[in-house]
Amino acid sequence: MRSTLPDDETATSLGAVLMRAVAAMPAGARLNASIFPSPEGLRMTLVSPHPHLEEAHRAWVPAAVSSATYQTVATQDLIEIIVRDPSMEDGL
């Protein structure tokens, strides 16, 4: 059975990115966060009005992260982090 749950180090890092994003939000600003399984493993997204996520994307990410991107689209910032599913690497 495949598991998309991150190890403790990865979970702590994802939590740090989320907490950094929350801390960057001014009162009344909206932050949308999601975390869900994907074909690559586990996907975390954060979306907020620009420029509030500029600093949050600089939080440390562990080796298990296969992709971490930050971009601004129109007036919104987007952080997308993909955590590899180790069972996919083992061919399970």
- Cα 84 from Cα 38, distance rounded (Å): 10
Give 62's contacts (C-beta < 8 A, 6+ positions apart): 9, 10, 13
Amino acid at position 53, single letter: L
Reported pTM: 0.83
pLDDT grade, residue 82 (50/70/90)?
Answer: very high
Q: How many Cβ atoms sit within 10 Å of the Cβ of residue 35?
A: 15
pLDDT at residue 36 in the model: 93
Contact predicate 76/87, CB 8 Å: no
Instruction: Lowest mean pLDDT of 4-8, 14-18, 27-31, name the range.
Output: 4-8
pLDDT 10s digits, 20-53: 999 999 999 999 999 999 888 899 999 999 999 9
